[in-house]
């Protein structure tokens, strides 16, 4: 049985109190789920609450982004040492929403990944093509470009997120995801998660594919029953 990583990206949702309540209700459902790795990535303000709520459990906690400098005059930024200090083990870098709304580029993603790895964080680096790029048959070119700033590392995993499937309800078919994951692994030998409208209804089929090493879950991770079901699907796959 393959060990998988199931990561929840809560994006800009849940206050510290709401996050703590979710964890309290979630832990009894996965207390014996020790084979796979589960990581919760709340908003920055909820990190201390989630770290405390998951203490003495097997659940990891991650930030949703970070800057590459350790400190300095970078208003609004969070550094890797700050994430480590609050108790984070993981960080998401290069999510398509960061690229779309906040000007992330392949170059800045590479700098963030390097800084996170040097700080001892486990990195989930996101890659994926837009709908227009897929329609122009540019998927492999886009993935190759995004991967060019990364290098294999024991603490690095990738999350393949076709941008057209994020928050849209659309999902890459298992065959499409498998094909993309195979290509990614031919370029960079690291585990690859699938992200993009992962739901209880499709999780088992996606996670059963040999090239898919887990899932980065967005909207469905906000709901206790849905995220629990996805974690249980990982056990069965």
Using an 8 Å Cβ cutoff, are 100 and 166 in contact? no
Task: Please state, as a whole number, how many other Cβ atoms lie within 10 Å of the Cβ of residue 131.
Answer: 13
In the chain the first and final C-alpha atoms are separated, in Å, by 8
Rounded Cα distance between 165 and 15, Å, is: 26
Rounded Cα distance between 231 and 221, Å, is: 10
Radius of gyration of the chain (CA): 17
Backbone angles phi, psi at 197, to 5 degrees: 55, 45
Given 95, 104, 129, 181, the catalytic residue:
95
What is the chain's length? 237
Asked if 161 is an active-site residue, the reply is: yes
Given 37, 97, 129, 161, the catalytic residue:
161
Q: Give catalytic residue positions.
A: 95, 161
């Amino acid at each position: 049985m393959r060990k998988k990583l199931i990561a929840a990206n809560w994006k800009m949702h849940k206050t510290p109190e709401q996050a703590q309540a979710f964890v309290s209700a979630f832990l009894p459902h996965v207390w014996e789920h020790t084979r796979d790795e589960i990581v919760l990535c709340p908003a920055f303000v909820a990190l201390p609450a989630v770290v405390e709520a998951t203490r003495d459990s097997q659940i990891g906690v991650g930030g949703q982004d970070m800057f590459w400098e350790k400190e300095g005059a970078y208003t609004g930024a969070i550094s890797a040492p700050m994430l480590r200090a609050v108790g984070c083990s993981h960080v998401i870098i290069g999510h398509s929403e960061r690229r779309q709304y906040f000007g992330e580029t392949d170059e800045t993603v590479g700098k963030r990944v390097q800084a996170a790895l040097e700080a001892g964080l486990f990195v989930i680096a996101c890659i994926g093509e837009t709908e227009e790029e897929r329609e122009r048959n540019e998927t492999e070119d886009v993935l190759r470009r995004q991967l060019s700033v990364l290098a294999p590392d024991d603490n690095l995993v990738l999350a393949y997120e076709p941008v057209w499937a994020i928050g849209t309800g659309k999902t890459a078919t298992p065959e499409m995801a498998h094909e993309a994951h195979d290509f990614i692994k031919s370029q960079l030998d690291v585990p690859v998660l699938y992200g993009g409208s992962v739901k209880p209804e499709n999780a088992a089929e996606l996670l059963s594919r040999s090239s898919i090493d887990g899932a980065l879950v967005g909207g469905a991770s906000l709901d206790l029953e849905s995220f629990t079901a996805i974690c249980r699907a990982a056990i069965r796959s």
